[in-house]
Amino acid sequence: MVDRLLAIMLLKKGVRLTEAKITRFGASSSAARARFLSLFHFIREELFRCREDLVLADGSRYSSLLLFEMLNYVLQTCAAIFGDPGQGKTTSAELISALLGGLPYPLVLATVIRGSPEISEEKIVGPVDLGALQSGKVLVIWSSFVRAPVKIVDEINRIPEIKQSMILEGIRTGTWIYLGQAFVGGKQPLFATLNFESFEGGTFQLVAALLDRFSLGLDAGYPGVEACTKLALNEELDRKLERLGLCDFYEEGLGLLTSREFDPKALTEFRRKFKNYLVGKGLEIPSDEELDTMRQEILALPFSEDAQRFLAFIISALNACAKYRQKRGEQFGEIHSAGCPDDCRFFTTPCSWVLGGGSRRQEADLVQFAKALAWVRAAKEVETSDLVKVMPFVIWHRRRFSAQLMNRAKTGTNHGYPLRLEAAFGFAERLFEEYEEQRELIAHLHKNKAELQGSFLHLMGQKVERSEIVLVHAQDLLSEEGARRGGGNGAPRTSG
C-alpha cells in the first residue's frame, strides 16, 4: 500500500514512471493504471478544476465527474452529465476525448453535436453527395460526428426525441444507417450533457427508455471558491492547451475527418502519431493498446463472495416486491409508480423507496463500474464498498424515487449533490446498513437456498431482527430456487 501511494504521489508531481519503475510498486499496479492515474491528476490539477467528492475504500479521493468520465471512455459506455449552464459539463468531456482519443482539442470541438430543436438528420449523420445523386446514386458523406472515435452531444435534451433515439441507437449498435447507407464505427463512448430541467421538461424531455441507455449520471457542480478563484486568475484554457501542443495538427486531422474518401486506417494512424507527439512533450497519454489493456483488466476483476451477495441484495431491492413479486411500471402503476401502499409491511424500508420496474442494463452497469473502482484502487477483487460508491451514479437518472426517500434527502446528510442524486446516496447507504445488519443471515440464505425453500412460509412469518427488507430478498431468491426444482411459481406471495 505504501509503495502504491508513493507511486501515485510521484505521478501527481509529474514524475514519469518507466515500466521498470512501475514493476517495483507490485504487479497489482499495472503500467496502464499508472498512466491512467497520472493523466487523471494532470487534468485535475492543470486543466479542469473540480471538487474531490468521491472517497474510495483505500482513502484515496477523486472527482467523481472526472474519474467516471475517464472510465466511461475506457469502458466505451454512455455518460449523461447534468448541471447548470457554465459548470464545465461539455468542456470536461472535450478534454478527456482529446487526451484519451488522441485528437487535437479544436478537432474535438468540430465533432460535437450542439443540441437544437431545428437540428436535422443530415446535421447529425451527414449530407447526401449531390454529385453522386445526379448520377442516380445515393451516397452519404458521413459527418465528423459519425466518423470520430468518440461522441459528444451538447444539450441532448434540446434535440427532438426521435433524433435522440437515432443517436443512442447508433451508439448502441456501433452502426449508423441513413438513406439505405451504413457506416460501421464499432463500439465508442458517448458523453451527453443535459440541464436539470430535462427531468421535468425542458425543450424535449428525455423519456425513461432513453435515460436508461446511459450507464452513468454525473453531476457537474460548483467546484468551490478556491478552484473558481484560480480559474479566474490563471492562464486561459485555450492558451494553456496551445502551449501544451493539444491544438497542433488540427488542419491535418480535420482534412481526414471531412474527406469525401474517408479512410479509418489513416485516422487511426493520425491519432497514434498525435498521441506520440503529446508523450514527447511530457504528457502521460495512453495508447489505444493501453486503453484495451485497461478495459481487459477491469472486466477481468472478480467479485468477492460478500460483494456477490450484496449485489444480489441490491438487485432484489431495485426490482422485487414482496406483495406483488415484481415492481412494474404499468401493471401496478398506481402502486409502483406513484408509491407503495402504506398498509404493506415493507412500506418504510428501502424496498419501497425505488419505484417502477428496472432494466437489466442497470445491473450490468453496476457490475462493470464497481469493477472499475476496484481497479482504480489496485484491488484484487470487488468489495461491497465499490458497489456502495458507484450505485448512486448508476441509478439516480434512470429510476424514480418515493416521496418518502426524497423527503429524507432534503433533511439527511448532504453530500453537495442535486436532490435526486442525494436521494440515491441515501438509498445506497441505508441499503448497505440493512445488508450489514443481516450479513450472516443472507449468507446462510445463499448457501442453503435449496433446503430453505421448503420452509419459506415459516421464514416469511417471522420478524428478522431490525430488518425486514431481507425478507423481500429471501422471497426473490427462494422463489427462483422453487421454480428450478419444479415448484411452479416458487414461493407464494405474502399478504403484505
pLDDT of residue 321: 76
Per-residue pLDDT of the chain (496 residues; tens, 9 = 90+): 333 433 444 444 444 443 333 333 333 347 889 999 999 999 998 999 888 999 999 999 999 999 999 999 999 999 999 998 888 899 999 999 999 999 999 999 999 999 999 999 999 999 888 777 777 788 889 999 999 999 999 999 999 988 998 999 999 999 999 988 899 999 999 999 998 764 544 567 788 888 999 999 999 988 888 878 877 787 788 888 999 999 999 999 999 999 988 999 999 999 999 999 999 999 999 999 999 999 999 999 999 999 999 998 999 888 877 667 677 665 444 455 556 666 666 666 777 888 887 889 999 999 999 999 999 999 999 999 999 999 999 999 999 888 888 988 888 767 889 999 999 999 999 999 989 988 888 888 777 765 655 444 344 434 333 344 566 676 666 665 555 555 544 443 333 3
Q: Fold for 2-300, please state it.
A: Rossmann fold (3.40.50)
User: In which element (H, E) is residue 250 found?
Assistant: helix 250-258
pLDDT of residue 9: 41
pLDDT of residue 250: 96
pLDDT of residue 4: 41
The sign of the torsion formed by the CA atoms of 388, 394, 397, 402 equals negative
Torsions phi, psi for 217 (to 5 deg):
-115, 115
pLDDT of residue 258: 92
User: For the chain, which residues make up each domain, given as ranges?
Assistant: 2-300, 305-484
With a CB cutoff of 8 Å and minimum separation 6, the contacts of 88 are 48, 50, 220, 223
What are the CA-CA distances from residue 197 to residues 16, 130, 194, 202, 281 (Å)?
43, 40, 8, 5, 42
Neighbours of 44 (CB within 10 A): 18
DSSP 335-358: HHTT---TTSTTTTSGGGTEES--
CB 212 within 8 A of CB 362: yes
Cell numbers at residue 268, please?
A: 487511426
Predicted TM-score of the model (pTM): 0.85
Burial, 277: exposed, middle or buried (Cβ in 10 Å; 0-12, 13-18, 19+)?
middle
What are the CA-CA distances from residue 233 to residues 45, 237, 270, 341 (Å)?
15, 11, 35, 55
Cα–Cα distance measured from residue 262 to residue 276, given in angstroms and rounded to the nearest whole number: 23
